[in-house]
Structure 1
Amino acid sequence: MGHEDAVYLAKLAEQAERYEEMVENMKIVAGEDRDLTVEERNLLSVAYKNVIGARRASWRIVTSIEQKEESKGNSSQVTLIKEYRQKIEAELAKICDDILEVLDQHLIPSAKSGESKVFYHKMKGDYHRYLAEFAIGDRRKDSADKSLEAYKAATEVAQTELPPTHPIRLGLALNFSVFYYEILNAPDQACHLAKQAFDDAIAVTSIEQKEESKGNSSQVTLIKEYRQKIEAELAKICDDILEVLDQHLIPSAKSGESKVFYHKMKGDYHRYLAEFAIGDRRKDSADKSLEAYKAATEVAQTELPPTHPIRLGLALNFSVFYYEILNAPDQACHLAKQAFDDAIAELDTLSEESYKDSTLIMQLLRDNLTLWTSSEAETSTAGQAEAPKEDAPAAATEEPAAPAEEPKAE
């Protein structure tokens, strides 16, 4: 079969929702050992995603039923369900091994552009992750190791050859963070990775503003469309982390420190959504952010000392929320000053272990207070305040300073 016929039949199979045949046609195209076009690459991805997606959904349903029957002690049903689950797992393994062979033997060696390299290494990480979801023992460890290796390879290329706002780079960050959470059981690393991707990508809005000021309407239209695409990716990242927090981390938190940390994180990610959302979506995100920050504050004030780094970090980010999202500089300054003053009063009780982190955040609180009070003064005298930017510590620079946030976790 010729190349054009294979592509045409793959498109036809997609419309007919015959995804196994779509896969077979795209394997012919992939076997030509050349860099696929964007359209061909997407056809291949869609084909395998639909074939694997149906089985993954089946596996989750059957696994859930198996757990329920086990809890009831229905051993005969459990035996039948296990056999059925193993049948689905064999199908999943065959599909994953099939695409991984195509990637290793054809697509990755033939990839020329940075975009293609990231796409295929990310895809390799995804399918090893799917194997790790149900594999056990050495097979699970092997799949997890190979998934991590592939995601790292994709990230290395993405960071040098794709801009932070590129949808494929953002999609990689999203899937890599899911891998950290679901496979490696490392929620902190998952959240850190997702937030880093968010922070790097959000800078695109400043480009749009510059082009608007120049009157470049055609460029602005293109940038707006691109921004909206990026915002959809950012929303996915935030929604993913928020689901993890609501369904797993917050309900499982036992210590006051954990409760404050996770409620603060929930407030942070709803705040990130509110930064670019509009209308009802913005109001909803802002309301949920406020609710989460208040919940964190309530626990912090009863269970953590004023000098605790997490309590100080909460005050720092909560004050940024008041300033940037609610446009309430007075409340922002009051909250930041209160936290700073409370910590100063108990500074001599600080342990050596937390001294560095606590004093750093206190410095950031003070920097923000200086920035915000000077901005208010400039607004009243000159009619224009400095424009805040995300996650840049306030400092003496020529560019407008930004309210500082809690330092990123390593």
Structure 2
Amino acid sequence: MNAKRAGKKKADTSRPAPPFDPLTRDGQRRVVITGAGTINALGHDVASTLEAFREGRCGITQLEFRDVDRLSIQIGAQIHDWQPQNYFNRQQILLYDKFTQFTLLAAKQAVAQAGLNFQGKLGLRAGVVLGTAGGGLNTWDDNYRAVYEEGKNRVHPFVVPKLMNNAAASHVSMEFGLRGPSFTVATACASSNHAMGLAFQMIRSGGAQVMLTGGSEAMLCFGGVKAWEGLRVMSKDACRPFSANRNGMVQGEGAGVFVFEDYESARSRGADILAEVVGFAMSSDAQDIVMPSAQGAERAISGALQDAGLNADQIGYINAHGTGTAANDKTECAAVAHAFGHHADRLMISSTKSMHGHLIGGTGAVELLACIMALRDGVIAPTIGYQEADPECALDVVPNEAREAQVDAVLSNAFAFGGLNAVIALQRV
């Protein structure tokens, strides 16, 4: 009986390979970016921000707010000319913390560029996921002052809805009628990348058709800077990522918001596609609350490549986390070198935090603009402030001046306190 079975030819039960579908990748929906908006120290919109990237302009200046003279750190990438009354009415200003104001402005720009209207069925298939670390920190700061310093015994009834981390996401959903999945991600400096990665996964899996995503931060107030001073990772003069004489990070503020959309939907309506999101990975160091791990970062980088189906030699540019601290920069360079092997020598990597500062939970969103610029315009944003070569950061960091180069695929790195890593892969369409 066994001999008879052995002699029988096994039936071919394999199915023929499905025909190539340009609208999907491995049977999953393709995801593209059809709108972008931002406000940060370099500009109040995408065009002015990209112009600053090309020029290598620095947005780091002297801070201007109450009691700044009591701080050891008095520089930051602050939005000095912010006039909320130009964008919101009095009632809205009472309800919106600065981080929400920044988010709404960026979201309106992104939706306008995408040309979408969320009335009807699309609103049911659209949502918003945003990143922030501090949420309404200015509201916290103002009300602590009112209660502890000024001795007031009451606060405004809108304090809680104004300071909560999900305020910006909720107001965006209400502004545009987004009735799909909407929430906030808070993973310190990786918040925006985690948010955008989750938005990408939702659309790819069919859970949504359109997602507004990105992040926002407004920590440049007395309490926000004072808290960061305690970590002793802040520079008093400049942010110099990868330079041997770097001496710390510099905080920034602002927002970046994008419209992520199902490729079939975008193509059918003739939308201008800025880039395609092709991969995302996240990892946890599970090691230390503040010290980064090269192994954890490398796993996120390699995971994003694998998720995107890209080889190392297909990546032309990485927007680095590049904070300008001794620990982060050498650890990140080691992770990139290990993940890319011999290709690391031909890879361009830069940190735009040298220009717009570290927006903490919003930083990955603003940095994604540099990735889109690299793919669309063939311009690599520089690492400004670079002065001395560091043998532990021996990569092409595009020092001080922007560079023209055609790249087809890029990565954006984000590595957060708590050992939480998130890397996004984009590709030119």
TM-score range relative to shorter protein: under 0.3
Larger Rg: 1
Structure-1-length-normalised TM-score? 0.26
**Between structures 1 and 2, the one with greater helix share:** 1
**Between structures 1 and 2, the one with greater strand share:** 2
Higher relative contact order (CA 8 A, sep 6+): 2
Structure-2-length-normalised TM-score? 0.25
